[in-house]
Amino acid sequence: MGIGWSIFIGVFLTLTGLLWFVGFAVLVRKLAAGITRNGAIIDLLTGVIFIGLGMFMIFEGVVGIGGRVVG
């Protein structure tokens, strides 16, 4: 890969990151009232998601260890 592609990739990644940052900031500002009003529900849903992910990770760990012990 030449220097031209490296510069292009660097600029592209920088612009993509900047657009994500600005877009997210604008979105949060526009939705701030709804986020504040529904904060408890948002916390509950994200908690359920993270508990589910944690249980999945524990399950995969136990199955992985069990497979090594038995097999």
* 9-68 pLDDT per residue, tens: 999 999 999 999 999 999 988 989 998 999 999 999 999 999 999 999 999 999 988 877
For residues 17 and 22, give the distance between their C-alpha atoms in angstroms, rounded to a whole number. Answer: 9
Position 71 confidence tier, pLDDT thresholds 50, 70, 90: low
Judge if 51 and 65 occupy the same domain.
yes
Number of structural domains (the chain) is 2
Q: Which domain holds residue 60?
A: 39-71
Distances (CA, A) of 51 to 8, 41, 42, 44, 47: 41, 15, 14, 10, 6
Q: Which residues contact 42 (CB under 8 A, 6 or more apart)?
A: 35
Judge if 18 and 7 occupy the same domain.
yes
Judge if 22 and 51 occupy the same domain.
no
Judge if 33 and 23 occupy the same domain.
yes
Is 35 in contact with 28 (CB distance < 8 Å)?
yes
Q: What is the pLDDT of residue 45?
A: 98
Model pTM above 0.85: no
Judge if 32 and 5 occupy the same domain.
yes
Is 35 in contact with 42 (CB distance < 8 Å)?
yes
